[in-house]
Amino acid sequence: MTSKMTSNLVSSLRASQSVESSQLRVSMPPLALQRYLAQGIFILAIAVLGLMALGSATRVMNAGLSCPDWPLCYGQVLPSSQMNLQVFLEWFHRLVATTIGFTTLMMFSVSIWQRRQLPVWLPKAMGFAMLVVLWQGVLGGLTVTQLLRFDIVTAHLGTGLLFFMTLLTIAVALYTRDGKTTEAPANPLPGYLWKAGAIGVVCIYGQSLLGGIVASRWALHQCFGQQQLCTVMNSHLVGVIPATLSAIVVIVLALRTRALPNFLRWVMYGSGVCLGLQLLLGYATFRLHLQVEPLTVAHQFIGATLLGTIVFFTASSYRLRVSS
């Protein structure tokens, strides 16, 4: 009798431990986990936007080689004796980039660990984001070891923008409220909205790369001062036309759509503000020959923000159309 009671007690303890273990593995409902993870990825995308602005400030302040080695700075984690404004910009840029890299790794790990509670596509999408951020880290090191070679600097910018767009798209696709897309319209959105948005993304991304080439080769200075690289500078000026027109088309089409959810309408208002500011900043930086560093940094930051709003709109309008 005693042996039987002991056996039953052991069985009960094992069952209890199994239930507790299961509860530890999934500490929140799947929809809540999905929503919080989407919010975390969106916050990470905002951090990447800030990192790109910090990188732009590092470049225009001629601080890109302030730390002559990589990944350390003067062979130290914190170069206190060599610290000045330029060294701080480069050091802090690396610190933020490293933090973002490890945060991406953590979210990638969560997507695998909780894959049964999350959409099946998420581990692959986060795996792609992980590869992009790893490549971005390699390019970051090469910008130092190759002494700011213009093609590597431009690729570094392009990869950063790609990472930013990837995170935004994943966050939009992942976000859910009570199992449904936020503010899903009663009628499906017209298909031309997300298609126009995709064209706008391509045009603005291409214009951003042209701007990166102009900046990394100092084409504006060389064209006005020595009549060199004027073709590079003019290509960026010509690129303003398709980028601007495509953004205007997206904004007009979106605001004319009655079924457009309010949150996307506000996003389009933001796109319009960013577009106007970007044109003004571009004109100012051109007229002042890139001599005012805050204007140059703001020009790059607002351009990336404009790209982000169009990406967010495109991904959201596509998801709303598919899910409605």
Which residues are CB-neighbours of 313 under 8 A, at least 6 positions away?
193, 197, 250, 254, 264, 267, 268, 271
What are the beta bridge partners of residue 177?
180
Kindly provide the b/e burial profile for residues 194-213, where b requires at least 16 CB atoms within 10 angstroms of the residue's own CB: bebbbbbbebbbebbbbbbb
Which residues are CB-neighbours of 302 under 8 A, at least 6 positions away?
274, 277, 278, 281
Cis peptide leading into residue 71 (ω within 30°) = yes
Mean pLDDT, the chain, as a whole number?
88
H-assigned helices in 114-184:
122-145, 150-174
151-180, pLDDT tens digit by residue?
999 999 999 999 999 999 999 999 876 545
The predicted model gives 260-271 an average pLDDT of 96
- pLDDT at res. 5: 47
**Residues, the chain, total?**
324
Residue 180, SS3 per DSSP: strand
281-307, pLDDT tens digit by residue?
999 988 887 778 899 899 999 999 999
- pLDDT at res. 188: 77
Confidence of residue 21 (pLDDT cuts 50, 70, 90): very low
What are the beta bridge partners of residue 164?
none
- At residue 246's C-alpha, the angle toward residues 129 and 323, to 5°, is 55
Confidence of residue 9 (pLDDT cuts 50, 70, 90): very low
Q: Which sequence spans correspond to the domains of the chain? A: 30-179, 183-324
What is the model's pTM?
A: 0.89
